[in-house]
Amino acid sequence: MTKEMLEKAKTAKSAEELLEMAKEAEIELSEEKAKDIFSRLNSDGELSDEELGAVAGGCGESYPMCPACYSPNVKYEENYSRYRCKRCHYVFTEPLMS
């Protein structure tokens, strides 16, 4: 999760809008998790980057992201020792890590 993504998430006016933002960024997010994140972002305290990453990214685990479009929807092509972004089709060997 990038700082830009976090800032954009903070602008959501509803859990549904937050869920749409996640879909546009090709981030898997359940309706329940979207509601949880939205309520935390709009409570007295905000989620830290780590907390938001843990909720959106699955227990705080790091995952590869495309360096061109920041999509987490990448596939490692073992035969070629490289990654390919399923969103923008960029090919790279060193992914960004969330």
Is 56 in the same domain as 71?
no
Name the residue with higher pLDDT: 59 or 70. Answer: 70
In this model, does residue 45 exceed pLDDT 60? no
Is 47 in the same domain as 93?
no
Range of the structural domain that residue 29 is part of: 1-60
- Look at the block and give the residue holding tokens 């907390």: 51
Is 71 in the same domain as 94?
yes
Is 86 in the same domain as 56?
no
Q: Return the bridge partners of 57, or none.
A: none
Q: Is the pTM above the cut of 0.85?
A: no
Is 44 in the same domain as 91?
no
Number of domains, the chain? 2
Number of DSSP helices (H) and strands (E) in the chain, helices first? 4, 5
Distance from C-alpha of 83 to C-alpha of 45, rounded to nearest angstrom = 37
Is 49 in the same domain as 39?
yes
Is 74 in the same domain as 96?
yes
What integer pLDDT is reported at residue 7 of this predicted model? Answer: 78
Average pLDDT over residues 38-50: 65
